[in-house]
Structure formats: C-alpha cells, structure tokens
Amino acid sequence: MIRETNKSVQSNRKLMWMSLIFTLLIFAAGFPALYFLISAKVEVESRKAINSYSSRLTGSNNNMESIQTTLTALKDQLARNLSSVSSKLETLEQQHTNDQSTLQHNMLSLESKLFDVQDILQHNMSTMETKLLYLQAYIRAEKLTCPVESLSFVDFLLSSASSIFPRSLPNYYRFNYDGNNNCNYGISDGGHDMYDNGNKLQVWRNNEQPVQVIYNWTYSDPLGNFLMICKAWHPFVFSMLVLNRDGESRQYYIREYGDLGADGSGSYRWNTGSLLVGSFNIHYVLYQVYGASDPSIIQIFFTVSSPLLGSTGHSSLHYVDSNKGTGYTNNTVYMSGNAHNVYLNYILTSTYQSSSRSAYVATSTVEAILREIF
C-alpha cells in the first residue's frame, strides 16, 4: 500500500515538472513575438505623442510669430508716440523759453520805467527843496537879490547830465549806490569791484572845519555864504552855490577821497581846461582812473559863472596835486577869488566793458558833453 502511494507521488511530480517545462518552452517560443508586439505598440504611441507635440509646437511657433508681429507693431506705435510727445515737448519748451524771454523783457522794461518814475519823483522833490533852500539862503544874504535863473540851475544840471552822459559816453556804466555803514556818505561797492568805500566828499571855506557831505543832502552854510546840493543819481552830481555875500576874497574847497577798488592796477591821468559856452564861463579839472578790469573812474570838477546866474567878481579853479595812484584818491579842488553867485560842481561817472579793460575818455569828449549841457 505504501509502495503504491510513493509511486503515485512520484508520478505526480513528474507530471508537474513536465508541465512546467512545457510551459517554459511555450513562453520562450512566444516571448519574441510578444516583445515585438509590445515594441510596435510603444513605437506607435510614441509617434502619436511626437506628432501631437510637433503639432502643438508648430502652433506655438505660429503664436510666437503672431506675438512677435504684435510686439513689433506696438514698438513702432510707441516710437511714433514718443516722437510725437518729444516734438510737442520741444514745442512747449520753446514756447516756454519765448514766454520767459518775453516776461524777462517786460520785467526789465517795467523796472526801467520804475527807475524813470523814481528819478522823476526825486527830481521834482529836489526841485522844490532846492528852490526853497535857495530862497532861505538868499534871505540871509542882506541887500542881495536872487536871479530867477539861479534857482533852477541845479535842477537843470541834474536833468541835463542824467540825459546826456548815458548817451554820449561809450560803454556808459550805471554803478550801484550801497551806502556806507548806513550813513550814506560813500560807495562801498559800486559793482564789478568799483570802489571799496570811496567817493566820499568834504567841503569847507578857507581854514574852517570840513563838512562831511551826505548823499541826497542839501546843506546851507549858517552864515549864508554857500549852499550845496548832493544827488546820488546817474551820474553822481554835487553842486555848491558860492554866495560870498560880502565880496571878500576867499577859498572854497571840495575834497573827494576813498578806496577805488582797482587794487593798484591800471593808470590815472588828470588835466585842466576852460570853456566859454555862450555866456557861461566854465573852468574844469578832469581826473580819470582807467585801464583796469574794474569800471573806470571819471571825475569832473568845474565852476560855472554867467551873468544869467547873477555871477559877479573874479574866480579861478585850482587842483591840489597830492600823492596820486590807482588804488586810492585824495583829490582836492578849490575855487579862489571874490566871486558871487558862482557854482562849484563835481560829477562822477564811469564806463565799463566786461570783455576788455576800461578805456580812457578823451578830454574832447568831456568838453563836448559840457558844451551840450550848457
């Protein structure tokens, strides 16, 4: 019984191994075909995927080209817009420049007119003040009458000088008035380094104590021997009416002094002369500092006498030749004699050209201006 069972088991084992071997043989025989089928399937699917990707890529390229075309069009449109905006900005800028230039021109014109109005107001006030003080001075001078013509002399001199000098002097310079320590008796800086506390004036008679001249000031000698007017105009004008009521021979002095600001550079020159213009007898001293990069200094001291002014007696003009230079001035001029109703005057003017050194003004030019005034 046991033997039969063992035989049966062995028989079953043989059948199982034979079945396994047969199965392996069948699998080995069919694997290449299966592999081929799977590979073919994979290849087909891969090709489909590649074709689909290629199609999508082609569509993307087309979209990229479309986007590129659109961007190019937008870029061109932006460039045209920028060009248009730039052109409009240039037009607006030019218009703004023109408007600014027009505004600046109008401002300068308005400023000039304001200066003119201010000068006219000062001129009218000066006229009334001068006439009043002249009358007061002549009232003090007993037994003397006041010619009407002499009342308007300073007014006439101021208006004529302010009109004639600017148009007769080449490169005429309108210097600044900045006062001196708020006392207003000198020019601290006239502009372009013209003066460093200069153009200070003193007047006196014989050996008396000098009187410091204050700008835009009218002064009457307590004894009624002279009257003086100082006007900080353009040009600067000082005028002293010598009354000398008792007819005695005296000396009347005017001194100009101060720092010119030229720092020692340039040159200086002075000379004297006389003119007869109609009935007006004029004696002058001309002093100039020139040839520096600063504005020139042109000082004219002169006397005026005429029967029209009620002038009588004799007078002469003298220049004190002290130490001279281009850094400082210390000019003293005096009138001597027994003359009555004679005017001792001083005018300061200037020329300036930034591109060159200040030039000497010929004596003939100054004489021509004096002739035109009188």
DSSP 227-277: EEEEE--SSEEEEEEE--TT---EEEEEEEEEE-SSTT-SEEEEEEEEEEE
Query: Is the distance from CB of 251 to CB of 225 less than 8 angstroms?
Result: no
The secondary element (H helix, E strand) that includes residue 187 is none
Distance between CA atoms of 165 and 156, rounded to whole angstroms?
Answer: 14
DSSP string, 301-345: EEEEE-GGGT-BS-EEEEEE-----SSEEEEEEEEEES-BSEEEE
Residue 246: predicted pLDDT = 82
Residue 160: predicted pLDDT = 94
Query: Is the distance from CB of 50 to CB of 42 less than 8 angstroms?
Result: no
Query: Is the distance from CB of 336 to CB of 152 less than 8 angstroms?
Result: no
The secondary element (H helix, E strand) that includes residue 296 is none
C-alpha 25: how far from chain center: 114
What is the three-class DSSP state of 278?
coil
The structure's pTM equals 0.63
Distance between CA atoms of 348 and 177, rounded to whole angstroms?
Answer: 12
Residues of the chain with pLDDT under 50: 141-149, 181-182
**Residue of 284, 276, 257 lying closest to 366 (CA atoms):** 284
Query: Is the distance from CB of 374 to CB of 278 less than 8 angstroms?
Result: yes
Output phi, psi for 265, to 5 deg: -90, 170
Residue carrying structure tokens 């218009």 = 95
Residue 255: predicted pLDDT = 95
Query: Is the distance from CB of 154 to CB of 229 less than 8 angstroms?
Result: yes
What residues pair up with 334 in beta bridges, in sequence order? 253, 318
Distance between CA atoms of 114 and 120, rounded to whole angstroms?
Answer: 10
